[in-house]
Structure 1
């Protein structure tokens, strides 16, 4: 829950910042000076890119959470009984032991979003965030194309 509050706070702060940038862009454009107009136009493009990236991240999180809820409601999520480090994080060595089973499931059922999501959860438990996001994106893509 703390992570969600932090993400929402950061998103709100980014939107406020983007509002100031857009306002400043119009001020620059309104000066009538060539260089200032060019800078103002550039400042209008950057918030569009940031807004698109923010939308993608929020959509990724919401879609991933929805898939986890679907699997949880069906009782298909693995039990989180991994040993914990003093920090509370899962022991990555123990999490790594899950990989062969989840990789085999993905190889046997490459079109199963459930298999990809479980692989993503295993990567996340081991601390490999980039592969966790990749596998979760595959799960989201497969679920969206199936349904």
Structure 2
């Protein structure tokens, strides 16, 4: 719950920032000179990119949470079986062992979004965020019926 509050607080701050930057860009464009119009358009591009990124990140998180809820209802969420250090960090060897099992499961059932979801969690536990995100995107695409078979 704390992560959601933090996410929505930061998203709200970003939106306020985008509005402030957007109004400055609009004011520059209203000046009407070649230089201010050019700068105004450039300033407006940044909030547009930021809003696009925020929208896609929010949709990704929403869809991943829906998959997690569906998997939890089925009783298929991965069990936390990782060994942790006294400080609470995940032991690397433990994460690698769980990852190997999740990868084998995914190779056995490559068209099952559930195995891809569990693989994404294993990637995340192994601190490989880019691959975790790609695996979760593939799980979402499989669940939505729009995945392309490799």
Q: TM-score, normalised by structure 2?
A: 0.90
**Distance (Å, rounded) in 1 between the aligned partners of 2:34 and 2:114:** 55
Provide the residue aligned with 2:102 in structure 1: 102
The alignment partner of 2:145 has SS state of helix
**1:73-112 mapped onto 2 (5 Å cutoff):** 73-112=73-112
Alignment pair present for 1:138 and 2:138 = yes
Offset, 1:111: 1.2
The alignment status of 1:3 with 2:14, answered yes or no, reads no
The alignment covers a number of residue pairs equal to 146
Q: Distance in 2 between matches of 1:77 and 1:103?
A: 15
- Deviation at 1:106? 1.5
Please, which runs of 5 or more residues in structure 1 have no aligned partner?
A: none
TM superposition shift of 1:87: 3.2
Equivalent-residue separation in structure 2 for 1:62 and 1:87 (angstroms): 30
1:63 aligned residue: 63
Structure 1 residue 119 and structure 2 residue 119: aligned? yes
Is 2:99–2:126's contact at 8 Å kept on the other side of the alignment?
no
| 1:92–1:127 Cα contact (<8 Å) kept | no
Cα drift, residue 2 of structure 1: 2.1
Q: Distance in 2 between matches of 1:140 and 1:125?
A: 19
Q: CA RMSD in A?
A: 1.4
Shift of 1:135: 0.7
Offset at residue 22 of structure 1 (A): 0.8
Counterpart of 2:52?
52
TM-score by length of 1: 0.92
Question: How many angstroms does 1:128 deviate by?
Answer: 1.6
Find runs of 4+ consecutive structure 1 residues off by over 6 angstroms.
Answer: none
